[in-house]
Structure 1
Amino acid sequence: MSYKSLNEIKGRLEKLGTYELNEDRFVQIADSALEYEKPVDRLLNGYQNLLSEVSNQMGKMDEHMGIKPSCQMGCAFCCYFPIIVTRLEAKMIIRAIEQMEPDEKLALQSHLKDYFKKHEEKIDYCTSLDFEHEDTKFDYMKEQLPCPLLNTETNTCMAYEWRPLPCRTYVNYLNPKICEDQLVPEETVSFEFLYEDYMSNLNQVAKEVAYEDNELLDYPEDIFEYNYLPVFLKQWINRGG
């Protein structure tokens, strides 16, 4: 299979400036989520569907630019990057795990317990890094600490439908071997600009839910507290999750 060169990809990416983002769609999703009867269902629906819309918009951008990501099933090099999320997002992932079928849930909980035991020293070091520092991604990647939700035998995500924004917005349009050969490959494009529409509307859902059920989440603290995903998941497992 032949892959486009970096210059070819950058040429296609210039078309991204003419793409019209459908911001109203994010608002519609948040409004629809608030129609659910149970507060927890409003949050889960809002979280999952807003993330799905991010993926949907990225797919439309690819069509607009005339390119496709070269990422493939079983390619998990980016699953060793530091994943930074809010406490609210971590709570949504945990809620989703808790609602899995019993066998699937128990298997994932067992996986996480083994993960935190096996990688204890690496986790302590990696999660002590200042995630706002420019060198952190490289220092984190040097340790080759897999994401807690990665099945390293199959190189697949164990909570794929609920994977957070950083997992969705990192894509490679070049030869996948670049990810294999380089710890931190040059990113051809950043889709971080989608974060504002995603998070502002998730915040709106969380705010409305908090007025009705303040035990479900700590608002606004859960929105503003950021940390590594392993930190939040380890806290949950240590509480008996």
Structure 2
Amino acid sequence: MKIIKFRKVNIMSHRSLKDVQNRLETLQTYELDEGEFEAKQDEAKTYKQPKDQLVAGYHKLLGEVSVQMNQMDHHMGMSPTCFMGCAFCCYFPIIVTRLEADLLKTAINQMEPERREHIKAHLKQYFDTYQDKLAHVESLDFDDEQFKFDYRKQWLPCPLLDTETNTCLAYESRPLPCRTYVNYMDPKICEHNLVPEETVSFEFLYQDYMGNLNELAQDIATEYDGVIDYPDDIFEYNLLPVFLREWIEESS
């Protein structure tokens, strides 16, 4: 019988900040395949209905962001230490365009009825529970350099976070900021710091994601009337809870 010996691993060992910084430097030699984003935009155009094209484009472009991040991890030779049930990043402000919020709402509406109604009931309870905290964070100035820290001090969860399981209720449709914020070091960094300096946000991916989503939206707005309010839906930004509350109030 073959005997397999397992090497002892210190599971409490995590990368140092210097190691992570050095590996991030190697991304200077990583070539982002912008053509893949364009390909996802073209794939979305194969859908017959314009709204379906937008929703497909939203998901396909977000999916490509995740693919690119996985490839960058491979290029750097490290993986995020984020894990299911760790939801400290779900207490950060999520700012999206009205178009992105509408596409997220459409994606939820297209879910199985039981799941869709569960999310809507959760959101209704959320806005009842956190109305005071929401009023406070909505009064904050996005451009203030203290904005993120002041928001985090409220310990306001994302509207789509199930705080009992620490899981996202619409994970496959989660917006870009949720996909591009990662930790490569000890997860306790996120637990012990409101705004950790050691975490990484791959915000540069936003350019290709949003650029192609904008082009898709413009093409659809040119060809079909009344599908979206272009360009206002592209340039109106707000906190995700604001857009989702509008939706719940309108459907009540």
SS class of match (2:182) = coil
Task: Select the structure of larger CA radius of gyration.
Answer: 2
CA distance in 1, matches of 2:224, 2:87: 38
Contact kept? 2:181, 2:199, Cα under 8 Å? no
Which residue, out of 104, 113, 116, partners 2:127? 116
1:130 offset after TM fit, Å?
1.2
Give the aligned partner of residue 27 of structure 2: 16
1:47 aligns with 2:47: no
1:240 offset after TM fit, Å?
1.1
Question: Which structure's relative contact order is higher, taking Cα pairs within 8 Å and 6+ residues apart?
Answer: 1
Question: Deviation per CA, 1:85-104, whole angstroms, max 9, x where unpaired?
Answer: 00000000000111111111
Give the aligned partner of residue 213 of structure 2: 202
CA distance in 2, matches of 1:224, 1:134: 21
Which residue, out of 87, 109, 114, partners 1:76? 87
1:129 offset after TM fit, Å?
1.0
**Residue correspondences, number:** 241
SS class of match (2:152) = helix
Contact kept? 1:9, 1:188, Cα under 8 Å? no
CA distance in 1, matches of 2:245, 2:179: 22
CA distance in 2, matches of 1:205, 1:234: 26
Q: TM-score, normalised by structure 1?
A: 0.98
1:5 aligns with 2:16: yes
CA distance in 2, matches of 1:42, 1:123: 33
> Percent identity over the alignment?
60
Which residue, out of 95, 100, 106, partners 1:95? 106
Amino acid at match of 2:161: L
1:131 offset after TM fit, Å?
1.5
Contact kept? 1:97, 1:105, Cα under 8 Å? yes
SS class of match (2:238) = strand
Q: TM-score, normalised by structure 2?
A: 0.94
- Runs of 4+ with >4 A deviation: none
* CA root-mean-square deviation: 1.0
Amino acid at match of 1:113: K
Contact kept? 1:173, 1:188, Cα under 8 Å? yes
